[in-house]
Structure 1
Amino acid sequence: MTTMLQEPRAVAAPVTADDVRRGELAAFLRSRRERVSPEQAGLPRGPRRRTPGLRREEVAHLAAVGVTWYTWLEQARDIKVSPQVLDAIARALQLDRSERSHLFALANAVDPVPENDCPGVSADLRMMLEQLEPFPACVQNSRYDLLAYNRTYSVLLGDLDRLPPEERNCMWLAFTNAEVRATLCDLEETTRAMAARFRASMADHLGEPAWERFLAKLLAASPEFRMFWARHEVAPITSPRLRSHRHPAVGELRFNFTGLWTGPHPGGRMLTLTPADQATRERLDRLSALARSGGV
């Protein structure tokens, strides 16, 4: 009996996470391209058009990239793509904010024009802040911008409404505003911890222009921040905290901080300061009454 030897079969390479991501990116680009009509893109339709939406060469033209390169992108080829090119493609395909975020996530790239971490504060959240009186409360994004706050929180730090919007940031106030710094009983411990939490948050936003500009602004304005930043200390933003404030009208106030995320983390967060002792509870009532009367 003659034994037939079979040729060994080639073993297919395993599918990697990058393969899956490139495939999803290619399918997403094709679906978005087919959705945009030539008229929407400001292009003539021309005769004998069979392709739904835009052609590949039209997207490449609108994004100012090579046709072959864009074709490879839609074919899930393993090629490098810069954030600037992705930005141009997103504009050519008229992607909305959610679609744009999805595009950059699939490309494993950092968006050079990222969405605000917490673009707005709803009327319901503002109502909650008011109902928390006399407890100080605010809503801030992951960069510590103050997006909304109640009366007691404002007067606790002086008068936030007097400040221009670009200065209403907890990090900026703690390191550069003399009036706010005077309210912090444990100034060095508090600012050091804030710098450590900011560094931990910054890791999720490396390369984002808004974060990089704010970091540069802090480094230029505060020698104290530069010193803490050079230590590379990190602390979780959710770490429990007890903080004491000193107010000229009512005296020392000791608070426990509670942070509640208002959406996906990292994003908007509602921060509530609750009294750590009975004396603080009584002084908060006085502070809130002064705020309502305009006496602070």
Structure 2
Amino acid sequence: MHRWRDRLSPEVVGLPAGGQRRAPGLRREELALLAGISVDYITRLEQGRAANPSPQVVEALARALRLSNGERAHLFCLAGLVPPGPDTVPAYITPSVQRMLDRLAGTPVAVYDAAWTLLVANPPYAALMGDPSGWRGNERNAVWRNFLGYESRVRQTPETQHALRTALVAGLRAAVGRYPADQPLRRLVAELRARSELFAELWDSGAVGRHEAARKTIDHPQVGAVTLDCDVVTVAGSDLNIMIYTAEPGTEDAERLALLTVLGTQSLVG
């Protein structure tokens, strides 16, 4: 893993260079920040002292290190795991999608898999919606959070909330159809059915819906209400859902978005 760190510069992954460096690549602390894993755990992994890393940890490291498909499969094998097959929900962010994220560094962007589990959120998105780096397991799934009452900064009316929930259930149903052998996905659905009567009702009714472009108002704790356009782009082939928030140039909302992005980036880095 050390050689994969060495080939990535901080600038390439959107981090400050941070003064003089003994090596040109990423430090362990920087990889830990990108992957959402403790520095101590990465140290133990590189020294061969960490046994049985989870598939989620390996996937997070592969994304942070920007590994190719072949390198990612090799990393899974090194961890003693079977690389994810074609019948499981893809969690791989392709190089082309990563380049797009790099070019949208000043725009709030989040990438979800086909089951609406958050894979990566850039710093502007974290500043806008709240830092998701501490979310674990099902907490990272948008369907789970929406139906089980987790806090959201997005204002909702009963109508918009129903439309969103219907679209999320429909998307999850479609993912189950495309990846019938994915056991974690099936467990997610079973747990949602058991814990949310509303989810079970929508699931059993065969609810049909899809994510539409929308204007959303986000109540930010520092800059106040920000109204933005929200678009969801689906990447054919990799089954990724990319959520992008933008503001009309020259408006107060654009100014507030720029301000909270600066404030949020400072707090995340500092």
TM-score by length of 2: 0.57
8 A contact 1:254–1:276 mirrored in 2: no
Aligned-partner Cα distance in 2 for 1:151–1:126? 14
Q: Which residue of 2 aligns with 1:188?
A: 158
Pairing 1:225–2:196 present: no
Q: CA deviation at 1:258?
A: 2.1
> Which of 158, 173, 176 is residue 205 of structure 1 equivalent to?
176
TM-superposed CA distance for 1:151, in Å, is 0.8
Distance 1:243-1:227 versus aligned 2 partners, 3 A rule: farther
| Residues 115, 191 of structure 1: alpha-carbon distance in 2 compared, 3 angstrom cutoff | farther
Q: Which region of structure 1 is more displaced relative to structure 2, 113-122 or 252-261?
A: 113-122
* Distance in 2 separating the partners of 1:275 and 1:263: 26
Please tell me the root mean square deviation across aligned C-alpha atoms, in Å. Answer: 3.0
Q: How does 1:66-145 map to 2 (within 5 A)?
A: 115-145=87-117
Partner-residue secondary structure (3-state), 2:242: strand
Residue 287 (structure 1) aligns with = 260
Residue of structure 2 equivalent to 1:256:
229
1:28-67 matched pairs, under 5 angstroms: none
Superposed displacement of residue 285, structure 1: 0.5
Identity across the alignment (%): 23
Q: Which runs of 5+ in 2 are unaligned?
A: 1-84
Deviation at 1:194, TM superposition (A): 2.5
The SS at the match of 1:178 is coil
Q: Please give the per-residue CA displacement for 1:153-195, whole angstroms capped at 9, x wherever unaligned.
A: 1232221001114421222222335332xx1211533432232
Q: CA deviation at 1:129?
A: 2.1
From 260, 267, 270, the counterpart of 2:242: 270
One-letter code aligned to 1:213: R
Contact 2:169 2:202 in 1 (8 A): no
CA contact (8 A) 1:126 1:148 kept: no
Secondary structure (helix, strand or coil) at the match of 1:220 reads helix
SS in 1 for 2:133: helix
Pairs aligned (count): 181
Residue 250 of structure 1 aligns to which amino acid in structure 2?
V
The whole-number CA distance in structure 1 between the counterparts of 2:135 and 2:258 is: 25
Larger gyration radius, structure 1 or structure 2: 1
The amino acid across from 1:279 in the alignment is E
- Tell me if structure 1 keeps the 8 A contact 2:128–2:261: no
**By how many angstroms is 1:144 displaced?**
0.5
Q: CA deviation at 1:214?
A: 1.4
The aligned amino acid for 2:191 is: K
Tell me whether 185-194 or 141-150 shows the greater mean CA deviation. 185-194
State the 1:204 CA deviation.
5.3
Q: Are the aligned partners of 1:241 and 1:256 in contact in 2 as well (CA < 8 Å)?
A: yes
> Aligned partners of 2:127, 2:194: CA distance in 1, in Å?
28
Pairing 1:8-47 to 2, within 5 Å after superposition:
none
Which string of whole-angstrom CA distances, capped at 9 and with x for unpartnered residues, describes residues 129-164 of structure 1?
A: 243243211111221111112012123222100111
CA displacement, residues 198-251 of structure 1 (integer Å, 9 cap, x when unaligned): 3333145245543332122223333443455465432134x3322222111111
SS at match of 2:115: coil
Q: d(CA) in 1 for partners of 2:106 and 2:137?
A: 24
1:7-48 CA-to-partner distances (Å, cap 9, x unmatched) read xxxxxxxxxxxxxxxxxxxxxxxxxxxxxxxxxxxxxxxxxx
Cα separation, 1, equivalents of 2:132 and 2:259: 19
Against the structure 1 CA distance between its residues 280 and 176, is the aligned structure 2 distance closer, same or farther, given a 3 Å change threshold? farther
Aligned residue in 2 for 1:178: 150
Shift of the 178–167 alpha-carbon distance from structure 1 to 2, 3 Å rule, reads: closer
Give the aligned residue type for 2:209. Answer: A
Q: Aligned partners of 1:166, 1:236: CA distance in 2, in Å?
A: 22
Residue 211 of structure 1 aligns to a residue in which SS? helix
Which sections of structure 1, spanning at least 5 residues, go unmatched? 1-112
CA distances 1:102-151 after superposition (whole Å, capped 9, x unpaired):
xxxxxxxxxxx863332311355334324324321111122111111201
Note if contact 1:117-1:268 (Cα within 8 Å) is conserved in structure 2: no
Does the Cα contact within 8 Å between 1:144 and 1:170 map onto a contact in 2? Answer: yes
- What TM-score do you get using the length of structure 1 for normalisation? 0.52
